[in-house]
């Protein structure tokens, strides 16, 4: 049962919530877009701009809620996604009230180190500057339009006594799109896979270039927005949990979904479950690389690829221990191996190589985000970016890239497991009804797709369980 006092407090705030905040943002309380531990998100209308918005209203004014609110404002400012929709700059008001944490975020970007990494592509310093300049990381994150203020600084709104954030309204999340595609028997083409994976890489590049890590990137947190050029843009929407890379963070402060979590986090939680060891973890950029690798794999197989094992072992043992033990063990078979490796290579060998390097359990062997940007899989996109402007632009911008590559018609997780379980005991077989969840479509593009078709016919019905 929940805390009755907190429930009463939440009902009080909702009953007292006005229809319009700051005399501008009209809230539709009957159109709830989502709910988290600390807040609810409602559809709203910016009456000045006549555009729909998403209004995130915190359930209470506790220290935890206030910390999450302040973190989101500070991170949004750092990432450049805090913008004004009324003549003046929203961020200008923050300059005077900037706290130590926001200053640390701002000063953590090392452009000299980034230039050195990107110049290693062999394209020369000038073209490296052009490439980085044309990757507009500001459009990789949901835009924070406004927030509640107390005496002009972020805090509980003086008039409404509400704590809230106003964001641009997005469309379908990647998670919802993948579920819809799976139900309809649709798939992402090779072009769509490349563009999605580039979007994921640039999102993490944007975080890392500002010295931040996210640790909970997953399809539910990647949402499609309409860009200024009219094209769709994938953006990261959940910024509350961002932390500074290289810092020691208490494990209790790290919120994540374990099927997307890195082996480093699994190892730390495993030590904690043994009742000893450090209860904190040094945050590494490579942990985010793992998460977007898992997200990219889900876009191919339409299921969290570690989800079936996590669910079964959790049900079998009543704890995460067995899953954590396997994930933390770098000596076990690679996640991408065997039939799964063959299936990915049938789509594109370069894509297979990139994802394999992103999902190395040994972090010392895992690709950095700069190495991901430099990978041959993204060569068509880099070529397009560099041809846009041979000179470094004054104002960075971003854009979608298309190619004419054919896509895989239908591919799901192959029956052969990508890894052995941590014990000799085989998992229980799935129920017969689980076998009904895979779409039946035919392939016939080329010989490389015949192999993928053969694997598709041997789909593991367990892998159709979407967590």
Half-sphere exposure in the Cβ direction for 449 (13 Å, CA): 14
Label residue 22 left, alpha or beta by phi (over 0 means left) and psi (-120 to 50 means alpha). left
In order of 64, 157, 221, the CA distances from 60 in angstroms are 9, 13, 23
Per-residue 3-state assignment (H helix, E strand, C coil) for 85-145? CCCCCCCHHHHHHCCHHHHHHHHCCCHHHHHHHHHCCCCCHHHHHHHHHHCCHHHHECCEE
- 56 in a labelled binding site: yes
Length of the chain: 467
Task: Tell whether the torsion through CA atoms of 237, 240, 244 and 245 is positive or negative.
Answer: negative
The radius of gyration of the chain from alpha carbons, rounded to an integer in Å, stands at 23
Percentage helix, strand, coil, to 5, in the chain?
45, 15, 40
Q: How far is CA 175 from CA 178, 352, 437, in A?
A: 5, 22, 17
Cβ atoms of residues 418 and 334 within 8 Å: yes
Identify which of 335, 343, 274, 347 has the alpha carbon closest to the alpha carbon of residue 307.
Answer: 335
Tokens for 152, please give them. 């002009």
SS3 115: helix
- Cα gap 385→133, rounded to integer Å: 10
Tokens of 447: 């010989």
Please, where are the H alpha helices in 348-411? 349-358, 369-373, 379-388
Question: Which contiguous run of DSSP H or E holds residue 117?
Answer: helix 111-119
> Known binding site for ATP: residues?
56
Q: From the annotation, which residues make up the binding site?
A: 56
């Amino acid at each position: 049962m929940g805390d009755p006092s907190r429930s009463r407090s939440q009902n009080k705030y909702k009953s007292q919530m006005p229809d319009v905040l700051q005399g501008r943002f009209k809230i539709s309380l009957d159109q709830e877009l989502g709910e988290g531990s600390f807040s609810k998100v409602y559809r709203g209308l910016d009456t000045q701009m006549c555009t729909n918005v998403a209004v995130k209203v915190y359930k209470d004014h506790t220290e935890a809620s206030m910390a999450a609110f302040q973190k989101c404002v500070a991170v949004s400012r750092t990432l450049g996604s805090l913008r004004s929709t009324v003549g003046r700059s929203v961020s200008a008001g923050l300059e005077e009230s900037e706290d130590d944490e926001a200053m640390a975020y701002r000063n953590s970007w090392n452009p000299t180190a980034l230039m050195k990494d990107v110049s290693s592509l062999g394209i020369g310093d000038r073209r490296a500057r052009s490439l980085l300049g044309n990757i507009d990381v500001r459009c990789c994150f949901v835009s924070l339009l406004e927030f509640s203020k107390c005496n002009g600084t972020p805090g509980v709104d003086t008039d409404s006594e509400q704590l809230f954030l106003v964001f641009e309204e997005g469309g379908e999340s990647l998670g919802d799109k993948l579920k819809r595609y799976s139900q309809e028997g649709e798939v992402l083409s090779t072009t769509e896979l490349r563009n999605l994976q580039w979007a994921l890489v640039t999102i993490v590049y944007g975080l890392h270039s500002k010295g931040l890590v996210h640790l909970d990137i997953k399809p539910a947190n990647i949402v499609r927005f309409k860009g200024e050029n009219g094209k769709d843009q994938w953006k990261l929407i959940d910024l509350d949990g961002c932390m500074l890379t290289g810092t020691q963070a208490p494990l209790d402060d790290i919120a994540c979904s374990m099927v997307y979590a890195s082996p480093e986090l699994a190892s730390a939680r495993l030590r904690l479950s043994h009742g000893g060891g450090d209860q904190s973890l040094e945050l590494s950029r490579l942990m985010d690389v793992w998460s977007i690798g898992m997200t990219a794999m889900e876009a191919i197989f339409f299921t969290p690829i570690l989800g079936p094992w996590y669910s079964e072992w959790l049900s079998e043992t009543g704890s995460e221990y067995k899953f954590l033990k396997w994930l933390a063990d770098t000596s076990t078979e690679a996640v991408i191996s065997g039939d799964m490796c063959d299936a990915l290579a049938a789509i594109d060998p370069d894509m297979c190589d990139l994802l394999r390097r992103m999902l190395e359990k040994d972090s010392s062997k895992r690709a950095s985000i700069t190495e991901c940007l430099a990978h041959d899989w993204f060569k068509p996109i880099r070529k397009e970016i560099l041809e846009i402007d041979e000179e470094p632009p004054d104002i960075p911008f971003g854009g979608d890239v298309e190619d004419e590559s054919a896509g895989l018609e239908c591919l799901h997780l192959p029956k052969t497991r990508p890894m052995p379980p941590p014990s000799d005991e085989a998992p229980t077989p799935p129920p017969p009804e689980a076998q009904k969840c895979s779409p039946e479509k035919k392939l016939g593009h080329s010989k490389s797709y015949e192999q993928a078709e053969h694997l598709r016919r041997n789909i593991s019905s367990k892998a159709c369980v979407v967590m």
